[in-house]
Structure formats: C-alpha cells, structure tokens
Structure 1
Amino acid sequence: MRILKVALLAGLAALTAMPAAAEYKEEYKISTVVPAPFPWGIAAEKWAELVGERTDGRIKMKVYPGAQLVSGDQTKEFTAMRRGIIDMAVGSTINWSPQIKELNLFSLPFLMPDYESIDVLTQGPVGEKLFAILRENGVEPLGWAENGYREVSNSKHPIRTPDDLKGLKMRVVGSPLFNDTFTALGANPTQMSWADAKPALTTGAVDGQENPLSVFTIAKMHEIGQTNLTLWHYVADPLIFAVNQDVWNSFSPEDQAIVRQAALDAGAVGIEVARKGLTGGDNSAIEEVRALGVEVIELTPEERQAFVDATRGVYADWKEKIGPEIVEMAEESIANR
C-alpha cells in the first residue's frame, strides 16, 4: 500500500509540473488591419490554417481584421499585444513604430530602392537586431511578411515632381515620420486610420493617399477619384508575425517550433502574393491598374532623385531619432547586397 501511495503521489507531482495542453486557450486572437484578399490578410489566415493543421487542432487561432481588437486604432496594436489584451498579430512596422522607434527604419524616405533591399534588411543582421528589440519589449517575433512598397495617388493631377505635391491634402498613417516627409514635399498631410481614409477620399476631404498597389486595386481606389498614381517606391511596409510573451511561454517547445515555422511559411506566401505582377519582368499588376482608367506614372531615375533630394533633411533628422547605428547597418547591408 505504501509503495502504491508513493507512486500515486509521484504521478500527481509529475502531472502538476507538466504544461498541459488542456490549459491552452480555446481560441487565440490574431490582430490585423486588413483581411484577405489583401496580402496582409492572406498571410494571417495562412498562419492560423497551418498552425491548426500541424497541431491537430490543439492550437486554434482566428484572425480579427480591421484592427477591431483595438477599437480600430491600429497604432495601439503593439501595446495591446505586449499587455496581453490580444494574443498575436501580423502587424505593420509602421503601426508599431510609435512604441518601437527602430521600426521607423523602413519608413525612412527612399532608403530601399528595390525588393532585394527589403530582403537584405529583413533576412539579415538588421532583421535580427529588430527582433531582439521586440523580444526586449514583451513579444516574441517569429517571421516576416509584406504589405509592399507604398505608392502615391491623388484625384487632382499626375505627380512627377515634388512641386506636384504642393498644397495637396494627403491622408497619411499615424506616424510623425510620414507627416514630416509629406510636409517636406510641400503637401498638407492629414493623419487618419485606414477606416477613416476611404470616406475622406470619397467626400474630397483629402485629395490623395499612399498605399501599396495591392491595396489600391483591391480597395478600388479608382472608384473614389484616385485616378493619378505615381510609382515612386519611397518606403516599404514589412509585416511581422508576433506573439505575446506570456502566450508564447505557455506553449510547449514542440508547439513553439510549429507556430514559428508556420509563421515563416505563411510569410513566404504573403510576400509572394504582395509581389505578384510587380517583379521578375512581370508588370501585370501595373497594367491591371492602367486598365481601370488610372494614369500610372513610372518615374525616371532623374525624376525619382528629385524626391530623394527634397527629403534628405527628413532622412537625416530621423536617422538620429531612430538610432544612427541601426540605420548605418541598414545602409551598409543595402550597399553590399
């Protein structure tokens, strides 16, 4: 009897020490700003799908688009995840930059001239450095996806020179860096959420906006007067898969590996979708926009350089704010790509 009692006690102690799958939440909420069929939403949905399949349903994840978990204020997403108000996110580096200043790196005007530049940053030492900073701030970053290069459109006239932006009322995201960039170009920037942007463009409260080409097409921006589009590749918007640190620590090592790999795989899908029709000699995404009756301006190197020159002061100012060390690391990585 004594042997049996000791065995039972030992068994109970072992069970108590084990992280039980039964303690997992019934559902883990993933925050995003836009749903599928936007590349952003596709990446988030794919992440949830892969995790569900690979854990045999032990971990159930559901995407909540529209920044609905933070009452539509996408700039509060990172803080909500860090505090455990939301479990996970596929988030924009732009939206998280108010809390993590180093993420403003990707919004430095004209830092990244091509897709290879984005990849060398996210997949190299700069990306590793940024992930370390995110871990220090209470979240576990897992992988990258992509929202794409942000191009500029308006309802008034074609934009080929900085002078063409002067006086235009432009919707920009809630980042001081975007405000500074468009102010330097002579525009009148107005910060507002994406939820407020389309009504403002529809009524003419603002003249233009800047977003990736996929957003322009899927959101049918041509139907609300955005008939002038300039491809200037001034900034890009990488996306980050991340999990609240306490949620992450609650997963077994085996499930952590599954969730991380699923994020990497979903990120690859998202990047492929975001770049479809824009790389490898395939310009079908651009032609699709032209077919909608939109005038699409592709800047010459000399025309683009005029915008670069006009924003050098903003670049220099924000290099100091972001941190010269990480900006110089990025500049070196791009120069040596």
Structure 2
Amino acid sequence: MFSYLPSRSLSRLSCALVGTAFAAMFATSLQARELSVSTVLSDAFPWGQAAQKWADLVEERSDGELTLRVYPNSQLVNGDQTREFSAMRSGLIDLAVGSTINWSPQVPELNLFSLPFLMPDEAAVDAVTGGEAGDMVFEAIEARGVVPLAWGENGFRQLSNSSGEIDEPADLEGLKIRVVGSPLFQDTFSALGANPTQMSWADAKPALTTGAVDGQENPLSVFDVARIDQVGQNHVTLWNYMNDPLIFAANQQVWASLSDDEKALLKETAVEAGAWEVAMTREQEAGRLADIQERGVTVTELSDEQYQAFVDATANVYDKWIPRIGEELVEAARNAIEAQ
C-alpha cells in the first residue's frame, strides 16, 4: 500500500534530493578538472612525448585533481595543424604543445625561427629562446590571446631527397620539395632554385612514395621514426637551415580560471617537461643519424664553404621577411647569437 505525503513534503524532499545531487556534482568537479592538450605528433616522436610528459607530471603532482588529456595528430583541428593556434585562442583547445612554424600564420614574430640559416647550432637556439628575443616572442604570443609557458624543441630541420647528393644550391634546381604551409618556406626554397610544394604531412608520404615530390625537410627524429627512407628518401643533407622550437601554452580564458596554485603547477611542469624533451631530443640525435646511415641512407655534411653558399643564396629572403617579423626582434636574436 502506498503511503501518502502532502505536496509540501514532496516539494521539500525533491529540493533536498536535487540539492544533494548538485552538491555531489560540485564536489566531483572540485576534485578533478580535465584540460585538453593538442599536439601534432604522437608519443612515438619526442614532440608527442613532451606533451605526455607534461600530462604525467601534472597528474602526479596534483594527486589527480588536475589532469591533462593529450590529443595527438592534430585531432582537435581535424588534422589541420596550422589551425591549432586559432583554435586555442578561441577556446576550442585548452592547452597545446605547438610548433613555431604552425603558429606563425597567426603570430608573425614566430617566423624568426624559420629565417634560413639564422641559428647555426643548439647554443644559438638557446641564446635566442633564453634571452631578450625569447621574451619578446612570448609577449607577442600573449598579446594574441594565448599564454606561453615554456620552450621545447622539435629540432633542426634537415633536407632529404630521392635524386642524389645535395651539397650546393645548384643541386636543388627544379626539385619538388614538400614544405609546410608557411610562405617563408616557399620563399626560402624558391631562392634556392627548388620547386616548393606545400602539403600536409598526411599527404606528404604518399606523394614521396609515388615520386610526386622529390624531397622534404624535417628533423632527424621525424625522418627516423616515420621511416622516410622507406619511401625513396635515400639522401640526407645536414644543413641546420632552421630550428623549430616548441611552445607549451594555454588558452587565456582557461588560464584566468585557474587558481594561483594551479597556474604555478602548470608552468612548473611545462618548464620541466620542456627541458626534459630538449635534452632527450639532442641526446638522441647522434644515435638516430647512425641508425639512418645503417639503413643505407647517404648522409652529406657540408663544409664551411658549402654552408656559406646556401647562406648567400637565401640572403634576399631576409629583405622581405625582417619587416614582417620586426626589426627589433631580429636584431635582438642576432645580438644574442653573436654574444654567446
């Protein structure tokens, strides 16, 4: 037999149940907050490992109260890596470990790192990112609605091709080279006499396989892990023509919603994950090169004179791009490199 409760009692009971459910949901939300992290490459590559390292450190030090969920392969922007910065700025992405190349369409100052042959070695990269120029770059990013937290490194980009040894600009004459979606890359390879062909990485490997393009440029880590030698790329030229630092960053609104402790935790772990990834990437370079050579790839190292020939051939690129990047920023970078 059903017991009867007055409507006023039912109302009170309903309110109590709703209040209890809301309190439970609120407590759960306080206990754990998940933020998305976008990255272009999976954890098979150092880039993806940097994002996962960040996530692991945050979960460990927050006791699970703050978690980062990594979305590799540009999943959050449907594979279009050049949209990552815009998506983060608009709030579709909470956090990212992104490339200076991919973010340069929205932050022109990031083209600093793509200027050909500006930074000859790792010491030069560190001098730029760790000095006044690096601070200026971070200010430019923050001015566009994204909070930069730390540096990582995708590494120096080397040149590979299926045609033969390349040790002077004339060897590039007419070769179709796959490049990322940046006008600066188009200008650099055009200055060298090549035929730069812009395409996504998803399209690049099939194009290399069929011979639709003759070559590509990427860090050795990408060449090694992606086994680019298996698609006919049997010649690699080590020329360190540009370095692609990675940047750990947060959406501005997401950052503002965090407590001071959460902000400190995210920044501290980003700096630590970045430093870890930079060291790992550099330590693995010699081993990767040896593995690539063992697989039958011919590796060409340039003499000082050969290197200078490429520098001279791309000098006019600076005339066009320094005004876009900012003369003060480029000068700060050059001063840092010269002072090291």
Is 2:59 the counterpart of 1:52?
yes
Partner of 2:221: 214
Partner of 2:290: 287
* Runs (5+) with no aligned partner, structure 2: 1-25
Deviates more, 1:148-157 or 1:53-62: 53-62
Query: What is the aligned counterpart of 2:110 among 103, 106, 111?
Result: 103
Q: Deviation digits for residues 169-209 of structure 1, max 9, x if unmatched?
A: 11000000000000010111111111211111112111100
Q: Distance in 2 between matches of 1:59 and 1:122?
A: 29
Query: What is the aligned counterpart of 2:135 among 119, 128, 134?
Result: 128
Percentage identity across paired residues of the two chains: 57
Alignment of 1:241-260 (within 5 A): 241-260=248-267
Deviation at 1:163, TM superposition (A): 0.6
Does the aligned pair in 1 maintain the 2:32–2:65 contact within 8 Å?
A: no
SS at match of 1:144: strand
Query: What is the aligned counterpart of 2:182 among 159, 175, 182?
Result: 175
Instruction: Tell me which amino acid in the other structure corresponds to 1:242.
Output: A
Deviation at 1:60, TM superposition (A): 1.2
Instruction: Tell me which amino acid in the other structure corresponds to 1:208.
Output: G
Q: Distance in 2 between matches of 1:276 and 1:255?
A: 31
Deviation at 1:61, TM superposition (A): 0.7
TM-score after normalising by structure 1: 0.91
Instruction: Tell me which amino acid in the other structure corresponds to 1:273.
Output: M
**Structure with the greater alpha carbon radius of gyration:** 2
SS at match of 1:316: helix
Does the aligned pair in 2 maintain the 1:276–1:285 contact within 8 Å?
A: no
Q: Deviation digits for residues 3-47 of structure 1, max 9, x if unmatched?
A: xxxxxxxxxxxxxxxx99836874211111101121101100000
Partner of 2:325: 322
Q: Distance in 2 between matches of 1:125 and 1:237?
A: 18
SS at match of 2:66: coil
Does the aligned pair in 2 maintain the 1:152–1:230 contact within 8 Å?
A: yes
Partner of 1:74: 81
Q: Distance in 2 between matches of 1:327 and 1:24?
A: 46
Q: Deviation digits for residues 124-146 of structure 1, max 9, x if unmatched?
A: 11111111111111111100000
Q: Distance in 1 between matches of 2:281 and 2:96?
A: 18
Deviation at 1:316, TM superposition (A): 2.3
Q: Distance in 2 between matches of 1:96 and 1:277?
A: 26
Q: Deviation digits for residues 241-272 of structure 1, max 9, x if unmatched?
A: 00001111111101110110000110011111
Instruction: Tell me which amino acid in the other structure corresponds to 2:292.
Output: V
Q: Distance in 2 between matches of 1:56 and 1:114?
A: 39
Does the aligned pair in 2 maintain the 1:153–1:210 contact within 8 Å?
A: yes
Partner of 2:310: 307
Instruction: Tell me which amino acid in the other structure corresponds to 1:284.
Output: G
Does the aligned pair in 1 maintain the 2:33–2:67 contact within 8 Å?
A: yes
Instruction: Tell me which amino acid in the other structure corresponds to 2:82.
Output: T
In the superposition, relative to structure 1, how do residues 246 and 184 fare at CA in structure 2: closer, same or farther (>3 Å)?
same
Partner of 2:23: none
Q: Distance in 1 between matches of 2:284 and 2:102?
A: 26
Partner of 1:191: 198
Partner of 1:297: 300
SS at match of 2:157: strand
Does the aligned pair in 1 maintain the 2:32–2:64 contact within 8 Å?
A: no
Is 2:150 the counterpart of 1:147?
no
SS at match of 2:213: coil
SS at match of 1:91: strand
Q: Distance in 2 between matches of 1:299 and 1:256?
A: 45
4+ residue stretches of structure 1 with deviation over 2 A? 19-27
SS at match of 1:233: coil
Deviation at 1:103, TM superposition (A): 0.2
Does the aligned pair in 2 maintain the 1:41–1:65 contact within 8 Å?
A: yes
Is 2:275 the counterpart of 1:268?
yes
Query: What is the aligned counterpart of 1:335 among 322, 335, 338?
Result: 338
Q: Distance in 1 between matches of 2:44 and 2:120?
A: 26
Instruction: Tell me which amino acid in the other structure corresponds to 2:131.
Output: G
Deviates more, 1:176-185 or 1:119-128: 119-128
Partner of 2:97: 90
Q: Distance in 1 between matches of 2:226 and 2:130?
A: 30
Does the aligned pair in 2 maintain the 1:24–1:250 contact within 8 Å?
A: no
Partner of 2:12: none
RMSD across aligned positions (CA): 1.5
Q: Distance in 2 between matches of 1:141 and 1:24?
A: 26
Query: What is the aligned counterpart of 2:144 among 137, 146, 153?
Result: 137
Q: Distance in 1 between matches of 2:45 and 2:31?
A: 30
SS at match of 1:276: helix
* Runs (5+) with no aligned partner, structure 1: 1-18
